[in-house]
Structure 1
């Protein structure tokens, strides 16, 4: 049996709840791919984790006067609940502070890399806050990116995705007291990337990187690959297991990359991995994770699905607005079907996009006036004409042959949009909507068959044809809207899920008593 396709999504930092931008980025899209491949019979390993030791967790705790472990655990529980409610189903969510063996595995890897010379000590200027008496790293320090001039934190710029060493930030300031940071010499541990120049260039050339990520990687090579700090003098995080650095903690980017390896477990590396991440987090996936593998003599064919930022309408790039559309609130108001299809339609691919509440409301109207209206009329007709049972007839009706051909052509495009090589969930939503509109038009055109006095039963093939389309949608739409698709399958007494294939385009067995829900099938 082949090794599973490994799908990862960026571990979110547990300093706050999930907002709609998180769902529009890696999580729902990665779940769509995982569901499609599983339905096809492909073995899948879908993993993520929570970045409980991120510096932003410590900053949040200091501002709130709480312990960082309390902040991390509270938001970790909220995040995993939001994933569940939005239909994102992972095979494993790494919990850094709970998973047995995690701390030991990660510190053993760090210790081994240090012994092998992959990690080395360097003394560099590092920001320090004199009023707070604290070294500044990660979210503890804010400033201007030396590469793109965007506002950013220490360690990584989420606008251009290039790393910084903290000390090279322009106008660095303490995130807590806003005092100007003072540069001081500090001895830390680094991963020098320059020794991996040829290995990385060869790896990137064979990976098929998205254009913006390719431009980033080529620029890093052109400018000279940097040394990446993997330890900081800090109070929060995993202790560095190397003598001489007693008050240092392992860097969050290093931990995020190593977390993926822990999440995959002791299984043989897969034949293929697909990483979903925001562009601002791409460095950890496309640079640091491969280096950790190279250092262990491993290579992993990988594919990257990179999204840009999905922001509020009035949010300033790089600075935020303080106003968020929280995932929990939107799921509660609109349901997972509506929210999932909306964030897939609005997914920020190749450019920054903004959340508009009216577009989310429009997604709900599309489900109500398109999908649910057609299904309600279909179930009502079966109830009135066939006593609620699937008719004793083969699919037919005026234009059925044309509709069937169109559906099967659309199915080919749908499978392509779901596939890893041409993954495009926005197109998948558009194709599904067109299929529903075509089926609804077919139903309207043939509605008068029931009233023709010359030939009895001419309307029954029309009902069978629409039930066949409905049954197909229970499988074809499931990667996008699993909650409604399973509700539809239950109404038709069909097994939930199944491959996205032509085999699903058949009506329920004649005489099957249907069980339509009392409310809408998709959304609510």
Structure 2
């Protein structure tokens, strides 16, 4: 039995006195065929009016109020059940002045649809020889103001590489991982000022550092762009900006803006911090990382300049603004075409329900791409708008692709749900928008959010001097914050990887190698009698294979990692009656482990694949729907490869780092 308890203080909040907590998806169990959320509407509060693709049911546990669905309204109270068909507009209001209204929301798309991710999984009836067209995999651009830490890797970047490798295993060769650094953010300028260096030098240094880090982590992009050094990129962005200005999507407005007299500059984005107007947490300009809701910068409460900490004054200034209003309906249709996670579904409802859909298109700065419009000298194209403007140029770098997958954190949800697709649609109404969005929460270190500026993070290059990249990638898959925030620690990393992979996995493979060396002269055994227990074990192997494939298809790396662990545990417990057949099945388990782990642990899997005697690469062989046995008589590197425990020859030792904290 699993027991999960909730206290009101731990619930998340929405505007208009609404508290909520997602019940499913839940990390502790495999995905359910439905999603569910617990919600409390405080006295006088009301949920946001919205619609979405999945059908939904409300079960009222406490309180009373009014339920509005399309043009209907009905009083509801404890014990009532409300069913809302797909696409219906609905909101629930608490009519009481004293009693909270509590209800359970249950929603679903159908029996074969994932309630967590954007990608559906269907069982294959038979294998096809035709290769699927490649996809373009585009993770959120990392800002070139500092190095990547393992929290970044556990989010968009390892996932992007895993998708590419999984595609290659499943007859979809040629998928392209494209990454560009977000060079022109205000954070890069702030970092240069802190280091006392030229901003171009700082941007180039960290952009190169990010590229090298991705390569070191076996996630090197097929295409890597550094916008501050790419004149063709800058020209394409300016041309796209000019097109939107000429067509009326970008207009001049006189706005209230923050200005710091001490620093003699206008404040925007990372140059100003204050209290979020939505959730009350600290937030920089443009968007709050806590609640993921956009702000106008000027509506930050108790704002201060991030450089000198002085309170800014308010000045009128002419700015160019991008208007999303013409795309509101199209964006709603786009969101309905995607199977949004519960959190993205709520954010979509909030964004689409905003009274004013505008974002600043320019900012007062000397760092960035100059505005190509006369009269706006001294302003640059907003870096948040720049990424959307660059999409056509970025995609032109890829010769052929069928679909686009984005990987990003929830703090970038507004860009991927709203501003980027709105800009793309304004430039080309027939543009192919991303069909899959893979999203993540934060990975914390010792229960505190990682921050390079505060020195609280784990650097991949330091860890990789103590362990192989395969071990780090597998650990990050185990800890990936897919549904909720997760936390890691050096102690947990060391004990988990030493205990599971270096000790348990290698001991099993070494024992298997000893048996094959001494009993079968390092060859795959010929089958003896096939008993019921062998059929049952083969069925279990196929179940493990299906569960791992489903985990990859649903972009749930925690499920994949858990499946690999469970597979080895089951193989260790498997009996050895009818010796040759049993060892042949253990070899099949080792072969399956190689396939399951390849997208996560490419070096480990490639090495083990060769040890098992395969002449073709893992990707050339592919991941068959049904588990395959290794051909009897196939030569194995049992003594040298398995018995020697050479896959991970040394345990991880992080004790000195743990002592230093």
Shift of 1:303: 2.2
Q: TM-score, normalised by structure 2?
A: 0.72
Q: 2:359 aligns with which of 228, 238, 263?
A: 228
Contact 2:440 2:482 in 1 (8 A): yes
- Which residue in 2 is equivalent to 1:27? 157
Structure scoring higher RCO (CA < 8 A, sep ≥ 6) equals 1
Deviation string 1:121-141 (CA, Å, 9 cap, x unpaired) is 111111111111111112111
Distance 1:84 1:510 in 2: 38
Give the match for residue 570 of structure 2.
438
5+ residue gaps in structure 1?
450-457
What does 1:247-266 correspond to in 2, within 5 Å? 247-265=378-396
Alignment match, 2:435: 302
Q: Which residue of 2 aligns with 1:338?
A: 471
Q: Once the 2 structures are TM-superposed, how far is the Cα of residue 316 of structure 1 from its aligned partner?
A: 6.4
Counterpart position of 1:454: none
Q: Distance in 2 between matches of 1:26 and 1:18?
A: 11
Q: Residues 40-119 of structure 1 correspond to what in structure 2 (within 5 A)?
A: 40-43=170-173, 44-99=175-230, 101-119=232-250
Aligned to 2:629: 506
Q: Helix, strand or coil for the counterpart of 1:516?
A: helix
Identify the match of residue 516 of structure 1 among 621, 641, 645. 641
Is the alpha carbon distance of 1:363 and 1:81 closer, same or farther for their aligned partners in structure 2, counting shifts above 3 Å?
Answer: farther
CA pair 31-463 structure 1, distance change in 2 beyond 3 A: same
Measure how far apart 1:99 and its partner are. 4.1
Q: 2:382 and 2:529 mapped to 1: Cα distance?
A: 61
From the two aligned structures, give the one with the greater helix fraction: 1
Match of 1:13 in 2: 143
- Over 3 Å counting, the alpha-carbon distance change for 1:42 and 1:303 in structure 2 is same
Give the CA deviation at 1:7: 2.0
Name the SS of the counterpart of 1:120 in structure 2. strand
Give secondary structure in 1 for the equivalent of 2:588.
helix
Following superposition, the deviation at residue 64 of structure 1 comes to 0.8
Q: Larger % of strand: which?
A: 2
1:407-422 pair list within 5 angstroms: 407-419=541-553, 422=554
Match of 2:618 among 489, 494, 497: 497
- Match of 2:54? none
Unaligned runs of 5+ in 2: 1-130, 651-661
> Does residue 1:376 correspond to 2:510, yes or no?
yes
- Aligned with 2:252: secondary structure? strand
Residues 188-233 of structure 1, C-alpha deviations (whole Å, 9 max, x = no match): 1111122221111121122222221121121122231431012111
Instruction: Between 1-10 and 225-234, report the one with greater CA deviation.
Output: 1-10
Matches for 1:118-137 after TM superposition, within 5 Å: 118-137=249-268
User: 2:364 touches 2:378 (CA, 8 Å); kept in 1?
Assistant: yes
Task: Tell me, yes or no, if the aligned pair for 1:207 and 1:301 is still in contact at 8 Å.
Answer: no
Matched-pair contact (CA < 8 Å) for 1:335–1:523: no
Shift of 1:50: 0.8
CA gap 1:316/1:29 in 2 versus in 1, 3 angstroms: closer
Distance in 2 (alpha carbons) for counterparts of 1:127 and 1:341: 45
Q: What secondary structure sits across from 1:208 in the alignment?
A: coil
- Give the 5 Å matches for 1:99-498: 99=230, 101-265=232-396, 271-295=402-426, 296-299=428-431, 300=433, 302-315=435-448, 322-364=455-497, 365-393=499-527, 399-419=533-553, 422-442=554-574, 445-446=575-576, 459-494=579-614, 495-498=616-619
Q: How far did 1:45 drift?
A: 2.7
For residues 69 and 502 of structure 1, do their structure 2 counterparts lie closer, same or farther at Cα, with a shift above 3 Å needed?
Answer: same
The 2-side partners of 1:22 and 1:317 are apart by: 9
1:293-336 deviation line (CA, Å, top 9, x unaligned):
21121342522211112222252699985411112222332322
TM-score by length of 1: 0.90
CA–CA distance in structure 2, aligned partners of residues 507 and 376 of structure 1: 18
Q: CA deviation at 1:16?
A: 0.9
Distance in 2 of aligned mates of 1:395 and 1:69? 70
Provide the aligned C-alpha RMSD in A: 2.5
Q: Which moved more, 1:82-91 or 1:188-197?
A: 82-91
Per-residue deviation, residues 57-86 of structure 1 (Å, max 9, x unmatched) = 110000110111111121122212221222
